[in-house]
Homo-oligomer: A and B are copies of this chain.
Amino acid sequence: MNDIQFAAIPLQQPLYKEVKRQIMAELISGEWKPGTAIPAEKRLSERFAVSIGTIRKAIDELVAENILIRQQGRGTFVATHNRDRLLFYFFHIVGQDGTKQYPVVALDAFARGKAEAEEAVKLGIRRGDPVIRIRNILKLADAPVIVDEIAIDQARFPGLSEKQFAGRPNTIYNLYQDAFGISVVRAQERLRAILADARNARLLKVAPKAPLLRIARVAFTYQDVPVEIRVSTVNTERHEYWSEIHNTER
Contact = CB atoms under 8 A, between A and B. Distances in A.
B187 A246 contact: yes
B193 A194 contact: yes
A33 interface: no
SS class, residues of chain A in contact with chain B: strand
Contacts of A214: 193
A224 interface: yes
Contact of A185 (B209, B242, B248): B248
Contacts of A98: 190
A109 interface: no
Copies in the complex: 2
Chain A, interface residues (CB within 8 Å), range: 35 or more
A83 B236 CA distance: 33
Contacts of A194: 193, 211
Given A186-B246, A186-B247, A193-B194, 9 more contacts: A61-B249, A66-B246, A188-B242, A190-B242, A191-B243, A193-B213, A193-B234, A209-B209, A211-B212
26 contacts: A64-B64, A66-B247, A92-B245, A94-B190, A185-B248, A186-B244, A187-B245, A187-B246, A188-B243, A188-B245, A189-B244, A190-B240, A190-B241, A191-B213, A191-B242, A191-B243, A192-B213, A192-B236, A192-B240, A193-B211, A193-B214, A211-B211, A211-B212, A213-B213, A224-B248, A249-B249
